[in-house]
Structure 1
Amino acid sequence: MKEIKELIQYYEQQGAFSSPTAVRQLQTHLTTVEHYEQQGAEDKAKKHLSGFKLLLDFHAKHMTKEVHDILQQDIDALLR
């Protein structure tokens, strides 16, 4: 999760997001996934990771297509 959070931060600094709220919500959601991973609650972590995909799609209009596609691919890879 750390790498994906860093990626979001990088793209935010590059101006790829048009909404600070979208960035904050995405980062917060990933923090929740990290929390469940650290507790060993893998089922809950996967469930929240799936929810992250929905949140990502919801905020797609607030980011470039490239960023959306990259994040989507990264999350898909983690869910496999």
Structure 2
Amino acid sequence: MDEAIIRIYDLAALDADEMRRESDRSREAFVLKPHGELERDTAGMFARKMSSLSANELSEILSILNKSENADERK
């Protein structure tokens, strides 16, 4: 639904990113569709360990994912 709203309102990249972040913050559940064994293992391990990770560890993971997302946008 987020992508439909972004498309309908033709949101600029920064506005679209902010909308995605705010939408993610409002959710309580996510559906992941991993494409391969490594992705499945990573998603499963993260789901099992998420509540036991410290705020610092979660921040580090988020930082890694943000770097990856920014690199994808530059392609």
Fold conserved between structures, TM > 0.5: no
TM-score (norm 2): 0.33
- Tell me which of the two structures has the higher relative contact order, counting C-alpha pairs closer than 8 angstroms and 6 or more residues apart: 1
Q: Which has the higher helix share?
A: 1
TM-score normalised per structure 1: 0.32
Larger Rg: 2
